[in-house]
Structure 1
Amino acid sequence: MTTLLRLRAIQLMLVALMAATPKPYRRELEACFNRLDDEAKALAARNPEEVLQ
């Protein structure tokens, strides 16, 4: 669960960066966000009992 929370915390930081970054430069941040989201979903799928705690 700790790893999942860390991934989500990093995603929140990326959202803040995206909000402060000019539009032409957001693409790389969005790609990082999406990769972390995919990793978080895969982690939750592998350990669903940890997500429910």
Structure 2
Amino acid sequence: MTITVLKAVNASNRRAGVAGAAEDTGAAASQVRASASELSRQSEHLGAEVNRFLATVRAG
């Protein structure tokens, strides 16, 4: 192989590596977004439970 071909192959491999890393980053971002959404839902539920508990204690 000539040096020009080797450089072209190397550049192609680097582009593929960057594309793969970008895809992995996108997947991780989606997982973080889903986890944050679930955590928010659980937080709202817990807040409602705490409010009911405190209302019961105050009425007690």
Q: What is the TM-score when the length of structure 2 is the normalising length?
A: 0.41
Structure with bigger RCO (C-alpha 8 Å, 6+ apart): 1
Greater helix fraction, Structure 1 or Structure 2: 2
Q: Which has the larger radius of gyration?
A: 2
Q: What is the TM-score when the length of structure 1 is the normalising length?
A: 0.46
